[in-house]
Structure 1
Amino acid sequence: MTGVGERLQGAAYAAGWGLVRALPESLARAAFRSGADLAFRRNGPGVRRLRRNYARVVPQAGPEELDELVRAGVRSYSRFWMETFRLPGMDHKAIYEYLSERFVGLSLIDAALDRGRGLILALPHTGNFDVSGIWLVGHQGRFTTVNERLKPESLYQRFVGYRESLGFEILPTGGSAYRVLMERLRDNKVVCLLADRDLSRRGIAVDFFGEQTRMPAGPARLAAATGAQMLVVDNMFTEDGWALRVHTPILVNGRDEVASATQRMADGFAADIAAHPADWHMMQNLWLADLPAERRKALSGEPEGASESR
């Protein structure tokens, strides 16, 4: 993206946090739903990638059913952004109380922290994970997560400020983040990591809906290094709010179990995504089969000639 494009993108996000937050909720919902339906009809690259990804999740779906799923998925993604722009002004205590009545798996969180070695919550790009973070802050206090270093810097800082205003500790991606995450876990704190995509050589090869992809090694590596327990998080939209579930407790007894633990994490993600696929907002290429041949060759460990850009 050019410098001008980055500045325009930053200005658009700034307007979102200002204007959308000020709109009546009914008007904001209607506007974002209309925008989602327009994006669906235009069928741009992101929507086409979403269609390919959903076709793996529901291979039995015919064209009409897949169309309906893609439309619902774009609306769900649009809802995520609408809520993102409005969350700073919403009643966080009310969100915490709402989700507490619908939370499944609370005993797993408490048991993991009772062990005294920290907790790693691994989650895919589903539902609204910032809403789930508000619940976690209400239950446990501040937790730590990582935010991709966006461009321009002003946009990255805006996202950091937004998530810090919700009570999260935000670290930029990079070598020092891993060290800080280990420190937090050794202090018996909670670390949350988005973990359903890492198309680099650092990623761990997994089978996902019957095909090969790669997912981040970070959650399982941290668990192996610290003794922290991993849990899979299922973020869901409901018609009038949200629901939240944690499951699949995983202990990683050494580096030789990192790959198998990552596969168990992927299996947990797959079960949740299959149950409510429209809430999975994966508008990027994910499976290796969808990548250019040069990129697949680079990921296989063969001589490089492909870009690692995303």
Structure 2
Amino acid sequence: MSGLRARAAARATDLGYAAGWQAVQWLPEPVARGAFDAVARFAAGREGRGTRQLRANLRVATGGKLAEDELDALTARALRSYARYWQEAFRLPRLGTARVLRDTVVPGIDHLARARAQGRPVILALPHSGNWDAAGVWFLDWLGEPFMTVAERLRPESLYERFLAYRETLGMRVVPLTGGERPSSAVLREWLEAGRSVCLLVDRDLGSGGVPVEFFGRPATMPGGPALLAAQTGASLHPVTCRFSERGWVLQVGEEVPLDGGTRLRDRVATAMQGVADAFTADIARQPEDWHVLGRVWADVPPDPPAGERH
């Protein structure tokens, strides 16, 4: 019976998500944004575990320099920014490529253009910041061809399939992080060897083989895949941090991260991923409210306690 209940709950989640997705697409933009802002305000007041972890993460990202009320205000802004991401993600097909291109600014685009002029594919390493789906729409247009990315499997499986289909309608090619017919690393390597490009979200290590880095001055781990793939294929590795502007999006493109950190491949990968972490640290600090990480990043930074239990 419990299995039947679990399947029924999963089915209800999927159907509810699909219905909400369709409804949001057809709401006027001010109404949709207002609705998502309201959800963000509710989440801030509820102080669930994800909100309290976000607060703790933002304390690290701001160097512990904010007073408690300032950190509360920053966390509330970050939740509204995260809500904006979801509102835009749901509405992206309706927003359209023309809107994204018109309202996106890309400092550092020359770094990517230089690599492409050399006939090299590029690997974009991104944090969970701003709207990475809008960034993908812009990048697809700039490339003039699909790129490949990796998606974490969601539950229920039907929800993952909806996200997969959605991103592929935008022009992306998606492989699952786990559970695919072949390892995602092998698929990505073949894609790059064919001269095509890759985008990967790497500020959280979801596996067991992460590379140790210093991130905002604290020990963390990040997936080594972007640097390993660059070393194996000759692709150009670039950190790219997305943030919101008042009317659109900013994509901050970093210089190519060198892979010259020693003779051993392991050392080169570790040094390159530290370069990625350093770029993220500098770029996220410009607008930390647009960094949307409600999960644990540092082993020694648990969620903050609820407001009533803080000293």
TM-score by length of 1: 0.89
Aligned counterpart for 2:287 among listed residues 247, 267, 276: 276
Which residue of structure 2 aligns with residue 299 of structure 1?
A: none
SS at 2:208 equivalent: coil
**How far 1:291 moved relative to its partner?**
6.0
Q: Structure 1 residues 17 and 199, CA, compared in 2 at 3 Å: closer, same or farther? A: closer
In 2, are the aligned partners of 1:117 and 1:187 still within 8 Å (CA)? no
Identity of aligned residues (%): 43
In 1, are the aligned partners of 2:56 and 2:302 still within 8 Å (CA)? no
Which residue of structure 1 aligns with residue 269 of structure 2?
A: 258
Aligned counterpart for 2:65 among listed residues 35, 57, 60: 60
SS at 1:289 equivalent: coil
Which residue of structure 2 aligns with residue 236 of structure 1?
A: 243
1:165 matches 2:142: no
Aligned counterpart for 2:216 among listed residues 209, 216, 221: 209
Unaligned residue ranges in structure 2 (runs of 5+): 304-311
What are the equivalent positions in structure 2 for 1:35-74 lying under 5 Å apart? 35-58=39-62, 59-74=64-79
**How far 1:199 moved relative to its partner?**
5.2
Per-residue CA distance 1:58-114 (angstroms, 9 max, x = gap): 110001110110000000001111111111122212312332xx2111211111122
**How far 1:9 moved relative to its partner?**
2.7
Aligned counterpart for 1:75 among listed residues 63, 80, 96: 80
Which residue of structure 2 aligns with residue 89 of structure 1?
A: 94
**In structure 2, C-alpha distance between the alignment counterparts of 1:18 and 1:149, rounded to whole Å:** 22
Q: Structure 1 residues 199 and 151, CA, compared in 2 at 3 Å: closer, same or farther? A: closer
Which residue of structure 1 aligns with residue 228 of structure 2?
A: 221
Q: Which has the higher contact order (CA 8 A, sep 6+)?
A: 2
**How far 1:2 moved relative to its partner?**
4.1
In 1, are the aligned partners of 2:108 and 2:255 still within 8 Å (CA)? no
In 2, are the aligned partners of 1:199 and 1:214 still within 8 Å (CA)? no
SS at 2:292 equivalent: coil
1:138 matches 2:136: no
Aligned length: 290
In 1, are the aligned partners of 2:150 and 2:184 still within 8 Å (CA)? yes
SS at 2:203 equivalent: coil
CA RMSD of aligned residues (A): 1.7
**How far 1:155 moved relative to its partner?**
0.6
Q: Runs of 4 or more off by more than 3 Å in structure 1? A: 1-5
1:238 maps to amino acid? S
Q: Structure 1 residues 199 and 148, CA, compared in 2 at 3 Å: closer, same or farther? A: closer
2:82 maps to amino acid? Y
In 2, are the aligned partners of 1:228 and 1:251 still within 8 Å (CA)? no
Unaligned residue ranges in structure 1 (runs of 5+): 293-310
Q: Which is worse superposed, 174-183 or 282-291?
A: 174-183
SS at 2:110 equivalent: helix
1:245 matches 2:252: yes
**How far 1:115 moved relative to its partner?**
2.7
Which residue of structure 2 aligns with residue 106 of structure 1?
A: 109
Which residue of structure 2 aligns with residue 177 of structure 1?
A: 184
TM-score by length of 2: 0.89
**How far 1:8 moved relative to its partner?**
3.1
**How far 1:256 moved relative to its partner?**
2.8
